[in-house]
């Protein structure tokens, strides 16, 4: 069988960078392009960070296109406190050679799908869903050709990370997320809860990856701001890496511990519950499930996959 063909849409902050590096070192897939979106940082800065990550990964170089710069209806709320002002820990990481490709990310996404066969391309989203929602409104028939949308998004079956009930990627543009969940394309949503508990990286895990390769060092160092934030929160070094958890679940499903099908809808009311994904079990709704929700990973398998893609693959090259 041929490689899985993938388009990755990202708001590339520090945990996105780790996930992108992992994906670039996964031999079973071919990343056709990256599209960037507002979220952790601006869409322009996300493109710079994606290019930087591609250079550090030193594998192949898919084009990077800039997409939507703001949510459909709201103002952007960047996550500088988590990822730093530049999204990569404010350590001066920049691309030395690669440049942003010409063209709009949303248009390029639509064009790639239009040229492809039905079910040929999968879309992975690591950030806000604005690009995907706009594409669905612009070219619904073409977007129906997507094999599956796999996202880091939703609070899963637990609580949120930006409000008690909402996860950042959904909360940043709830209206866009609502469009995506209601569109009818198969969805795998890896929740915020999947990166917690046994999937948390402790100081030994961080040290092992950082010392494993130059890419591993980049992956841990660019999360400096998150580590400092967590040191204040928890009192010790720990990393909760949502996007790498999602990439593991998507590309290495053996790492999934808990995943089931649910009917989901996104709350876009102006109340405190804005941006939450309401997950109905089979007894609470007669609607057909529209998403698979991954809420827990096998921590050992996830960490092994991280080390393999960030460190062992680099040594093999």
Neighbouring C-beta atoms of residue 128, cutoff 10 Å: 33
pTM of the complete model beyond 0.95: yes
DSSP 198-249: GGSB-HHHHHHHHTT-HHHHHHHHTTHHHHHHHHHHHSS--B--HHHHHHHH
Contact 297, 256 (CB under 8 A): yes
d(CA 246, CA 256) in angstroms, rounded, equals 10
Residuewise pLDDT in 10s, the chain (317 residues) = 699 999 999 999 999 999 999 999 999 999 999 999 999 999 999 999 999 999 999 999 999 999 999 999 999 999 999 999 999 999 999 999 999 999 999 999 999 999 999 999 999 999 999 999 999 999 999 999 999 999 999 999 999 999 999 999 999 999 999 999 999 999 999 999 999 999 999 999 999 999 999 999 999 999 999 999 999 988 889 999 999 999 999 999 999 999 999 999 999 998 899 999 999 987 778 899 999 999 999 999 999 999 999 999 766 65
Q: Which residues are catalytic?
A: 11
In the chain, the domains with their CATH numbers are 4-316 (3.90.245.10)
d(CA 172, CA 152) in angstroms, rounded, equals 13
């Amino acid at each position: 069988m041929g490689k899985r063909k993938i388009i990755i849409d990202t708001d590339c902050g520090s945990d996105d960078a780790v996930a992108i590096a992992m994906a670039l070192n996964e031999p079973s897939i071919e990343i056709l392009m990256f599209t960037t979106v507002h979220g952790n940082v601006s869409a322009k800065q996300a493109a710079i960070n994606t290019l930087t990550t591609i250079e550090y990964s030193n594998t192949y170089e898919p084009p990077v296109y800039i997409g939507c710069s703001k949510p459909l209806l709201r103002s952007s709320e960047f996550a500088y406190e988590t990822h730093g002002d530049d999204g990569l820990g404010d350590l001066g990481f920049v691309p030395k050679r690669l440049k942003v490709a010409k063209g709009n990310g949303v248009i390029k996404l639509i064009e790639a799908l239009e040229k492809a066969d039905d079910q040929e391309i999968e879309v992975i989203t690591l950030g806000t869903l604005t690009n995907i929602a706009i594409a669905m409104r612009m070219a619904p028939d073409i977007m129906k050709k997507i094999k599956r949308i796999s996202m880091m998004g939703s609070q899963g079956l637990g609580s949120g990370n930006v409000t008690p009930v909402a996860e950042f990627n959904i909360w940043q543009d709830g209206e866009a997320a609502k469009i995506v969940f209601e569109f009818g394309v198969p969805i795998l949503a890896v929740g915020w809860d999947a990166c917690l508990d046994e999937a948390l990286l402790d100081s030994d895990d961080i040290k092992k990856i950082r010392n494993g390769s130059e890419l591993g060092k980049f992956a841990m160092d660019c999360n400096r701001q998150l580590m400092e934030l967590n040191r204040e929160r928890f009192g010790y070094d720990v990393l909760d890496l949502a996007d790498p958890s999602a990439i593991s679940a998507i590309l290495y499903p053996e790492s999934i511990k808990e995943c089931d099908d649910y009917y989901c809808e996104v709350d876009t009311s102006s109340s405190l519950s804005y941006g939450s994904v309401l997950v109905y079990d089979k007894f609470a709704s007669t609607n057909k499930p529209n998403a698979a929700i991954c809420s827990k990973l096998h921590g050992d398998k996830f960490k092994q996959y991280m080390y393999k893609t960030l460190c062992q693959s680099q040594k093999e090259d």
